[in-house]
Amino acid sequence: MSDPISRLDQFRADTPGAPMKSAAEVRQRGDQIRRRQRALVTAGAVALAAVVAGPIIFLSAGFGERAIEPQPAPAPSQTPSTVAPSPSASAPASDLTRANLPTEDDLVAEDPYPQWVLEQTYDGEGRGDHNECLPALADSGALATFRRDFIPEAGQEYADSAGTLKTVVAEFGSADEAEKARAKLSDAASSCTAVDGTEVAGSLPVEGGVVTSGDINVVTYLSEDPNTNAGWEVATAVVAVEDRLVVLTRRRGAQDYVSPTTLQTSAVNAAYRLVGSSPPPATASSSASSSSSSSASAPAAVLSDAHLVVAGSLPGLPMEGESSAVWQQVAPQPTPTLYCQGAWLSSLKAAESVSREFRLENPDEIGKVNVTVLEFASKKSADAAYETVHGWLDTCPATMDDAKLFTARPVEAIEIGTTPEIDRAAQTLAEYAADCGGEGCDATWYDHQTVAQLGARLVLVTHAEAGGPCPPTRACPPEEASDYTEWDNRVAQTVEATVDRAFQDLP
């Protein structure tokens, strides 16, 4: 994975606002601006209407307020065009504007996803929820709010699976009120009681720069479609800078939890915009160094992409009358590694994990390989996780339409000829109906699912091939044991290549 901090190299010394002042100077300047502007405005809240319209992926379109064509932000000397009446003559005025929202350049995209680009800007919080876990900021006492939504750059690789990123800024009557609202929103983000079936995936603090306080909470939940294991991941950053808040919500389909360090950097950058400043080039590195210094005793990462099998090591699928279909690596999919998973892999409490997925198409999808490698803090923890996964393979408790599933044979121990020699491994074959576009058919997935352990490390492997009415055997229907040989060999080769790569650095 590339270093997300390197994406901030685009900030130059001639960027407006550079060279940057210290965090204390920025806060002092923000206080001066607010005091001066509040002395000039009448008893009312200033709201600048400017909404950018664009295409939306994942979620339904058109839930903004007063959407108009994008316009450049007014210069500081210009007067905002719309004045909203205040609830009372004594209510404090707000000088928050859309200029306090983060820009495309402030946001760090997680590798391998494309850069975030502007989709829409809203007066207020928009007509649709920007975060399914949170109450409205107006309900928390915000004097003014603005919202800006981002999507992945269209036409780029992995754009369809990167999700959406929505940002909201708000101003409160005091720093104390802002902190109370931040704590309330963070609690809502971590529990997400507004959505049924959510699971806590992880959290991360947001520190550095002008940030007063902040954190990121990540939850996951399954799709409402009962026939799939597709899931959603919602990562919510809530950050306070004195009397203002910024909320960043990244929503995407996800297979397993990945620490939201890119969102952490984006949140620090957004905090600078909140006080009317541009993020300095050193923001990301200083934030990272702050985090690393607070966890200097943490062990270095053990797993990397080097522990994941590559497409060229997977056996092709022979096609009648033509050359074999070959595997292609695809973007992370919003589905579990194993079809029979009873929960997201984050529930296993691994210290680290890396994943990769492959597909066969000819031209429709005829093969799936999913791989996840998990590193645990101890062998005891890995032993417990192995038993949990073994139980999943034995009972297949995943949420799905039971009428579409039957397990061809019970889970059984297998041998895998790799060096170093593994501790243990188990495998099952699940058969389930394929998607026929709403029409009845006999298409079936034949899905071998494997778990292997060596010390404190596990590897999970799915090798699924499409068939129907017969399995992917040499003869249909298969009559001899030899009819299964080619299929069995393909599965064994996939598992061996995957396990060998995952355990290559272990003694």
Note the pLDDT tens digit of each residue in 305-351: 899 999 999 998 887 666 678 899 998 877 789 989 888 888 888 88
- The partner residues of 375 in beta bridges, in order of sequence, read 352, 457
19, 111, 261, 286, 471 from 289: Cα distances, Å? 20, 20, 13, 5, 54
Contact 199, 347 (CB under 8 A): yes
CB neighbours of residue 392 within 10 Å: 22
* Residue 92: half-sphere exposure toward Cβ, Cα within 13 Å: 16
Instruction: Output the pLDDT for position 129.
Output: 82
Instruction: Output the pLDDT for position 259.
Output: 83
Residues whose CB falls within 8 Å of the CB of residue 332, separated by 6 or more in sequence, listed in order: 161, 254, 255, 355, 357
Read off the amino acid at residue 439. Answer: E
CB neighbours of residue 139 within 10 Å: 10
3-state secondary structure of 83: strand
Instruction: Output the pLDDT for position 436.
Output: 67
CB neighbours of residue 246 within 10 Å: 28
Residues whose CB falls within 8 Å of the CB of residue 348, separated by 6 or more in sequence, listed in order: 374, 385, 388, 389
Residue 405 sits at the vertex; the CA angle it makes with 399 and 406, to the nearest 5 degrees, is: 125
* Separation between Cα atoms, residue 236 and residue 172, nearest integer Å: 20
In the chain, which residues have pLDDT < 70?
1-92, 127, 225-230, 255, 282-300, 320-323, 399-404, 436-440
Which domains are assigned to the chain?
4-294 (no CATH), 305-502 (3.40.1000)
Instruction: Output the pLDDT for position 86.
Output: 40
The dihedral through the CA atoms of 255, 259, 262, 263 has a sign that is positive
107, 169, 210 from 114: Cα distances, Å? 11, 24, 27
Is 0.75 surpassed by the pTM of this model?
Answer: no
